[in-house]
Amino acid sequence: MNTTLPKAYDPKNVEDKLSKIWKEKGLFKAQVDEKKQPYTIVIPPPNITGVLHMGHGLNNTLQDMLVRYHRMKGECVNWVAGTDHGGIATQNVIEKKLAKEQHLSRHDLGREKFVSTVWDWYKECGNAIYNQFQKMGWALDQSNIRFTMDETRAKAVFACFKNWWDKGYIYRGKRLINWCVRCSTALSDIEVEHSEHAGKLWHLLYKGENGQDIIIATTRPETIFADAAIAVNPDDERYKDMVGKKVQIPLTDRFIPIIADEAVEKDFGTGALKITPAHDATDYEVGKRHNLETRVVISSAGKMINTPEKYIGMDRDLCRKETVKDLDAAGLLVKEEKYNNAVSTCYRCGQPIEPYLSEQWFVKMDKLAAAALDAVQKEEVKLVPSNWKAPLENWFKNMQDWCISRQIWWGHRIPVWYCPHCSAKGLTFAKDKQGKEYLSKVSFEEGAEPIISYEQPVCPKCGCKETLQDPDVLDTWFSSSLWPISVFGWPEQTKDLNYFYPTSILVTGYEIIYLWVARMIMTGIDFTGKVPFKTVLLNGIVRDKSGQKMSKSKGNVVDPLDLTAKYGADAVRFSLLSQAITGKDIPYGEDSIIGARNFCNKVYNAARFILMNVAEGTQITPLQKEYKNLEDRWIISRYNQAIKRTTKEIENYNMAAAVDTLYRFLWGDFCDWYIELAKPRFNTEENALVSSILINILYGTLKALHPVMPFITEEIANGLKPYLKDTKEFLLLESYPVCDNSRIDDEAEKQMELLQGVISAVRTVRSQFNVPPASKIKVFIAPKDKQEELVLTKEQNFIQLLAKIDNLEINPNAQKPAQSATAVFAGTAIYIPLEGLIDFAKEQARLQKELGIVINGINNRTRMLENKNFLERAPKAQVENARQELAQMQAKKAEIETAIKDLA
RNA sequence: GCCCAGUUGGCGCAGUGGUAGCGCGUUCCCUUGACAUGGGAAAGGUCACAGGUUCAAAUCCUGUACUGGGCACCA
């Protein structure tokens, strides 16, 4: 008996205490157990760009729920922990930090120092993240935390690169790539975001050498200096005779030819298109077809080069304004119209992308994609929800080669080396701010012969030891794509790899399906012959309350650490899971967490109350095979129903439904009814009996809830354990409850429904006529049939208790006393004498309203039952159901009518 | 332009063939033996619109509108 527990649940101490114990006991440590079935999840490794946000909160809580559930089902669970170095994103964070705190650029530090600064940051930020894992109660195996840049992962990256190089998948080539001027690096196609912006379309006049001028439309006048031709559609009658002639580029003295190409649409703009191969992807293709010059006029820094003197060094945006101004002055600007142009932006910094001609490393995708496509089509990888299947297939079908080189410093350096003697022709050197010479650029076309090596090699040709590594690093997604195998030590055929791979499920956000999920499928199949996961569960984005994406600049970010500190990790978890519908975004506001916090408190107080009332020294026994009391049979039945439904919903990944089921059972059935009914029994010889039911059901519910709210359930379970036999040290080591169908008791549930209905009806009347809760009343009940009479009579006590009735008379022939209100539940009339309290007009209105509803229902059923087609074609049970409802409603109608008549 | 979601009480959302539920909010009553982070009760919805299938449609089909998203194009 414990009466000293505080009234409100305080999560803070409990959570700190438990997470520490779990860690000390190594509860989440994964170990191969051949006797068991493996259940593996690899965490989507969070970038080390800062602390975790609500998106991580949702994503990891979903995984934790699955992990704990499967662990309790007896599987050998391994939830692999780790973080991602996060290439550009992390570099940007550190660069900003350096600029802000020390007014330094990465170039001021130099490459080596900069990289070591990021490593220092990794230790700091990584620890903060691991700490958050623990705070949230995520059952990650933290005894072995992986990082995408640690040695094992680096070796995997190299093994992959080498393998693909040997297979001829990796090549270097000059291409028009997506260049972020701000991040000064190449990006892959899917790292570019598209949006529409209000812009302008300028019509420019190009003077013909023979006086035949041509007008073109462009959104990028600053690129005219890179024009190599004007193209028209071959079928365009307007320009047919001009093809082959030359026109002059405005503001220059250069002449370019007019060519015909299918890529030009007759109906757009003027039907004539300027071709700028070095600064536009379509133009690049046209240029290749027509063997045009690729003149570059915008540098990697976004400044103008190779233009007339005046514009050299100008920023691209300024140059646009100046060009337009000068064109106008020269009378060559024909028209300026408003136009919504598509702007491509960097997914990391949001700045406009510049198509940029440069040499980059690529991976050939055809074979890799074909195998992955096949796996997805055959549903060897199943997407949940499935509406992402088609887009993913489509992506595999139309995939471009993957640009894997990035011109940044933080990441896996490309494992390609050059000899300064043998490859010197292809190498460009530069000096850093410290005056140190470094390899800044490599050009294959000029004959650089690479050496693929993990560590610095000796030149196999000349024996030179001062070989130089390619300056670029790999796309951060390169290492991420290997995650499901690299975490287990691939390319080594480790015991873990053999046992835990393929993983069971991947839980991630739909926004990285192409960036990450698709690529893991490709590498997984390519290197192991097996898909990396059988199921991909896609979670939505956690948005703010009004559905906006959370972002620092909008100031609408909700910090999980704040919420956890304020309401507890369990409440944060519960609120997220209770809204987790597969693939759907969650509008997240603080009120949802308050509800969750209240639920925690409810569970806690239920337990507190039970413990306060168990008689000293009571030995709680397992549930008996049978119980006589209706409420006992009922709660056990409800419990098993809840477990059945919860399990089903978890298996189908409907976490919100699973959580809702347990919430309603615990609050709506267990607390609102069963505990209320148990109260008077504590003082009787039934104390041991009712206590054992309460404690057993509560303990079972705690087990069922444990994957949702690990802390509070563990804490309460610890309080119950002294009364229970054969409990495990931690709930995680218990078995997840299983529904016992033999305990489902339809009769008890039906009888209970009757009693609840009668009690509610009485309460409604009391409330309507403002009968103070303290004043006990007298009630007459006229049961509709013998069966109901029996049930009601048997359970008289509890009707009296919950409806606060002093004197209850159950009698089929009961007459309505004068000055009384009437309530009807399914044909059973309830009379409540209310001398002096009753308001006849109000009562009349109330009864009339109820009568209206019943008549509606009767009409409806009557229509159905008069319909031959319904009788013939509807399932029998359906027809029978309608009949019963009709009968009930008719009885109810009669009772209400009588009541109204008596009132007059 | 193509494709995919969504549209349900004031707000946020469940519900996939038998005329609707939850949480929050609102109104009223209540410190009754755990919990006011609580208890009891009430008000509030013709389930976006138009057709169709069916005995029966919020639920299935077709179309429309609006919102969000993906892909392609974008001079």
**Other beta carbons within 10 Å of A33:** 12
Give the single-character DSSP code of A267. T
Residue A3 pLDDT > 60, yes or no? Answer: no
> Is A855 (CB) below 7 Å from strand B?
no
Determine if strand B comes within 7 Å of the CB of A195: no
ipTM of the predicted structure? 0.95
Q: Which of A100-104, A143-147, A210-214, A567-571 has the lowest mean pLDDT?
A: A210-214
Sequence-distant (6+) residues with CB within 8 A of A584 are A540
Q: Are the beta carbons of A600 and A11 closer than 8 angstroms?
A: yes
- CB A854 within 8 Å of CB A893: yes
Q: Which of A739, A768, A543 is nearest to A643 (CA)?
A: A739
Indicate if the pLDDT at residue A2 is higher than 70: no
Are A298 and A354 in contact, with CB atoms under 8 Å apart? yes
Beta-strand runs (E) in A86-211: 141-147, 170-180, 185-187, 192-208
Which of the two residues, A670 and A235, has the higher pLDDT score?
A: A670
> What distances in angstroms separate CA A641 from CA A372, A624, A662, A856, one per listed residue?
41, 18, 10, 32
Q: How far is the CA of A386 from the C1' of B66 (A)?
A: 25
Q: Evaluate if residue A349 carries a pLDDT over 90.
A: no
Cβ of A893 near strand B (under 7 Å)? The reply is no
Q: Give the C-alpha distances (Å, rounded to integers) separating A179 from A322, A356, A402.
A: 23, 6, 14
Using an 8 Å Cβ cutoff, are A444 and A426 in contact? yes
Q: Is the CB of A609 under 7 A from strand B?
A: yes
pLDDT digits (tens, 9 = 90+) for A132-152: 999 999 999 999 999 999 999
- List the alpha helices (DSSP H) in A291-365: 316-329
By C1' distance from the Cα of A860, the closest nucleotide is: B19
Region A574-591 average pLDDT: 90
pLDDT at A773 over 80: no
- Nearest residue for B37, CA–C1': A598
Q: Write the pLDDT tens digit of every residue in A840-883.
A: 888 888 888 888 888 888 888 888 888 899 999 989 888 998 89
Q: What is the mean pLDDT of residues A712-721?
A: 94
- Residue A413 pLDDT exceeds 70: yes
Class of residue A251 by CB neighbours under 10 A (exposed 0-12, middle 13-18, buried 19+)? buried
Give the nearest nucleotide to A589, CA to C1'.
Answer: B12
Task: Share the mean pLDDT of chain A.
Answer: 90
Q: What is the pLDDT at residue A161? A: 97
A800 in contact with nucleic chain B (CB within 7 A): no
Nearest alpha carbon to residue A799 among A749, A748, A763, A747: A763
Looking at the predicted structure, is the pLDDT value of residue A119 above 90?
A: yes
- Is the C-beta of residue A676 closer than 7 Å to nucleic acid chain B? yes
**Nearest C-alpha neighbor of A527 from the set A42, A155, A168, A160:** A160
pLDDT tens profile A203-262: 988 988 888 888 888 889 999 998 989 988 888 888 888 888 888 888 888 899 998 888
For residue A499, pLDDT beyond 90? yes
Tell me the pLDDT band of A447, cut-offs 50, 70 and 90: low
The predicted-structure confidence for A295-330, as pLDDT tens digits, reads as follows 899 888 889 998 888 999 999 889 999 999 988 898
| Nearest nt to the A218 alpha carbon by C1' | B75
Per-residue DSSP letter, A802: H
Question: E-assigned strands of A542-647?
Answer: 542-543, 586-587
Question: Which pLDDT value is given to residue A241?
Answer: 86
A217 Cβ nearer than 7 Å to chain B strand? yes
Q: Is the C-beta of residue A265 closer than 7 Å to nucleic acid chain B?
A: yes
Q: Is the CB of A769 under 7 A from strand B?
A: no
Q: Is the pLDDT of residue A1 over 50?
A: no
- How many angstroms separate the CA of A835 from the C1' of B28? 21
Answer whether residue A593 shows pLDDT above 60. yes
3-state secondary structure of A566: helix
**What pLDDT score was predicted for residue A904?**
65
Helix H or strand E encompassing A645: helix A630-651
Mean pLDDT of A507-526: 94
Task: Tell me the mean pLDDT in the region A15-21.
Answer: 95
Lookup: nucleotide whose C1' is closest to A663 CA: B22
**B17 nearest neighbour residue (CA to C1'):** A874
* CA of residue A874 to C1' of nucleotide B47, angstroms: 24
Confidence (pLDDT) at A820? 86
> For chain B, which bases have at least one atom within 7 A of a protein Cβ?
3-5, 12-15, 18-19, 22-24, 28-43, 54-56, 70-75
Is the pLDDT score of A445 beyond 80?
A: no
- The reply to whether A652 Cβ lies less than 7 angstroms from strand B is no
Residue that has been written with the tokens 């700190």 in this structure? A16
CA distances from A410 to A94, A154, A694 (A): 10, 13, 58
Model confidence at A355: pLDDT above 80: yes
pLDDT tens sequence across A367-399: 999 999 999 999 999 999 899 999 999 999 988
A496 confidence band (pLDDT: 50, 70, 90): very high
Q: How far is the CA of A867 from the C1' of B54 (A)?
A: 14
**pLDDT > 70: percent of chain A:** 99
Question: What pLDDT, on a 0 to 100 scale, did the predictor assign at position A348?
Answer: 80
Residue numbers in A 683-702, CB below 7 Å of strand B: 683
Q: What's this model's pTM, rounded to 2 decimal places?
A: 0.92
CA dist list (Å): A469 to A164, A413, A449, A473: 18, 8, 12, 10
**N-term to C-term CA, chain A:** 56
The reported pLDDT for the residue numbered A830 is 92
Mean per-residue pLDDT, A411-416: 95
Q: Which nucleotide is nearest to A679 (CA to C1')?
A: B33
In angstroms, rounded to a whole number, what is the distance separating the alpha carbons of residues A294 and A804? 91
Report the SS3 class of residue A591.
Answer: helix
Per-residue pLDDT, A4: 67
Residue A503 has pLDDT above 90, yes or no: yes
